[in-house]
Chains A and B, each alone.
Chain A
Amino acid sequence: MNRAAILWRVASILVAAGFIAAWQLVANLKLVSPVFLPGPDRAWTALVRGFSSGDLASKLIGTLEHMAYGWLAASIAGIALGALIGSSKLMRAYVAPSLEFLRPLPVSAIIPVAIAMLGLTQGMALFVIAFGAIWPIMLATIHGFAAVEPRLYEVARALQMSRMAVIAKIALPSALPDILAGMRLSLTVALILSVVCEILAGLDGLGHWVLLSARAFRSADLFAGVILLGATGYLTSVAMSVVEQRLLAWQAAAR
């Protein structure tokens, strides 16, 4: 890490610390009623208590499971469909208009449909999360596959590579930067939809915890849940960039 990077890191920590201090100040001065806004101290205590009593940990695991299953399903289906559509000009021409119609559809609009068909079940949650999270992945994969250097396909032909080898060794690695970027975007979508589904269907998870805390006016517990959600989003995104950096080391060499 160079000097500038260290300075940026220090600055961002200072901003975060300043933010927490301001929050504590607002809470101490009771600018907002403590019923609605606990200070960071109370939120932290609630967080520790939640974990030690064991309840919060199981809620966190619930949300992580919803998020992971939905995101993985979206990734597998999104990459497969994206590869299929992106690698054929004809498919792109036929399918693109339908995609343009479906893509801007808010996922919240299909939740009632999913509930009507699947009920308030884990299956419904999996479907909704996967449906919402598939778009960034699929569209990025289509773009990645469509943008493969045509010369590389000719190299593959000259080497008489098999169709499977061309996909595995040429198309996929070439599209990988796009695919990973799409998967990173979908991570956030999957987290949001996990919470929404938990709230709507009463499934075990942080969404449910947050809802119950709010109904009972336990604002410290509510904030503990929100902090955990934020941390989940942040840490999964960091994990994703570590994976990206490792898989795309060759791009760093280009710079």
Chain B
Amino acid sequence: MSVVARLDEAKAARRGTPLIAFNGTTLRLGGKTIIEQLDLEVRPGEFVCIVGASGCGKTTALRLAAGLYRPSEGAVTFNGEPMTEPRREVAVVFQDYGKALLPWRTAAGNISLALEASRVPSRERNGRIDALLRKVGLPGHADKYPTEMSGGMQQRLQIARCLAQEPTTLLMDEPFGALDAMTRQGLQDEVLSLTQASRTTVIFVTHDLDEAIYLGDRVIGLLPHPGRIGIEIDVNLPRPRDQLATREHPEFLRLRRQLFDFIKATEH
């Protein structure tokens, strides 16, 4: 056995069997190659962040992982099976919460949509809805319509609806991109506490480098035209993360610098 092969094997063993795997995944849309030869493995319970310039293919990669797109070449697998259709154990938090919520249903009704799809008996639903609303910090808002809620509250509601699916995996597309800094930091910590406790696997797309390092176990930087992996860094910062201490950690600043240089180099 060659040294290289043995090294690869050691690496695979360290990483464990992947939950989500892109294997030489290429996606063409309308004759244009959007994603090319993407290789990425996400382990169970891992929090992977994807960063990259606008238009580099972050959303497209996430949609491939969700089964909303089928690869033109290569494969995307979930637990070893091809991901050709969405599955209920993989929940998607869309960027535009305003469009992803049903305006004619209350907060409770929106969560109920996921419970109905999972065939939860109606007598169990109210209890589950209350618990989910409490979990995302929206107790007492059950009867509000989405339009009566702030952006932050709407995004919490969408997250609650995703949690109602009882997913093992959360795919989040710039979920806090449209929110103000304070709301954003609050939600970052909430997502961490929600997912770390249940060992939920997360792929989190963002264009905010600080956010990616703060949240992730690993950060993937994409290169544009066509989208492919340009950098991959492991984040060895202690958990639980802390908005002040983590962001002042020398390792945080070093990684921030490294990512910043990478993004800067892709932007011309």
A contacts, CB < 8 Å to B: 149, 151-152, 154-155, 157-161, 165, 169-170, 173-174, 176, 248, 250, 253-254
Closest beta carbon of chain B to A127's beta carbon, Å: 35
**A160 B88 Cβ-Cβ under 8 A:** yes
Q: Is the interface of A mostly helix, strand, loop or mixed?
A: helix
Q: Are A158 and B147 interface neighbours, CB within 8 A?
A: no
Instruction: Check A165 against B102 for contact (C-beta < 8 Å).
Output: no
Whether the Cβ atoms of B100 and A174 lie closer than 8 Å is: no
CA distance A160 to B118 in the complex (A): 9
Q: Which residue of A lies closest to B97 (CB)?
A: A151
Chain B residues in 8 Å Cβ range of A154: 68, 92, 94
A170 in contact with B102 (CB, 8 Å): yes
**Contacts A151-B96, A165-B117; A158 near B91 (Cβ below 8 A):** yes
- A160/B68 in contact, CB under 8 A: no
- Apart from A158-B92, A169-B102, 7 more pairs, CB < 8 Å: A152-B99, A155-B94, A159-B114, A160-B117, A173-B102, A250-B103, A253-B148
User: 20 A-B pairs, CB-CB below 8 angstroms?
Assistant: A149-B99, A151-B96, A151-B99, A152-B100, A152-B102, A157-B68, A157-B85, A158-B86, A158-B90, A159-B88, A159-B117, A161-B117, A165-B117, A173-B102, A173-B104, A250-B105, A250-B145, A253-B145, A253-B148, A254-B145
Q: Per-position contact with A for B89-126: 1 when CB-CB < 8 Å, else 0?
A: 01110101001101111000000011011100000000
Is B165 on the interface with A (CB-CB < 8 A)? yes
Q: Is there an interface contact between B87 and A165, defined as CB atoms closer than 8 Å?
A: no
Tell me the bound Cα distance from A170 to B117 in angstroms. 12
Please tell me if B66 contacts chain A, counting CB pairs below 8 Å.
Answer: yes
| Least Cβ–Cβ distance between A167 and chain B, in angstroms | 14
B118: chain A residues at CB < 8 Å are 159
A169 smallest CB distance to B (angstroms): 7
Q: Select one of B87, B94, B148 contacting A160, CB under 8 A.
A: B87
CA distance A152 to B68 in the complex (A): 13
Q: Which residues of A contact B116 (CB under 8 A)?
A: 165, 169
CA distance A187 to B145 in the complex (A): 31
What is the minimal beta-carbon distance from B13 to any residue of chain A, in angstroms? 33
Q: Could you say which residues of chain A place their CB within 8 Å of the CB of B92?
A: 154, 158
* Cα of A73 to Cα of B175 in the assembled complex, Å: 46
A253 engages B99 (CB within 8 Å): no
Please state if B102 and A151 are interface contacts (CB–CB under 8 Å): no
Q: How far apart sit A173 and B165, CA to CA, in the bound complex (Å)? A: 22
- The answer to whether A158 and B103 touch (CB under 8 A), given A253-B145, A253-B148, is no
5 pairs of A and B residues whose beta carbons are closest in the complex? A254-B147, A159-B117, A151-B99, A253-B145, A250-B104
In Å, the complex CA distance between A174 and B99 comes to 12
Beta-carbon contact of B165 and A159 below 8 Å: yes
Q: How far is the CA of A174 from the CA of B104 in the complex (A)?
A: 8
Contacts of A250 in B (CB 8 A): 103-105, 145, 147
Residues of A within 8 A of B148 (CB): 253-254
A173 proximity list for chain B (CB < 8 A): 102, 104-105
Residues of A near B90 (CB, < 8 A) are: 158
> Closest Cβ of chain B: how far from A162's Cβ, in Å?
9
Contact A155 B88, beta carbon cutoff 8 Å: no
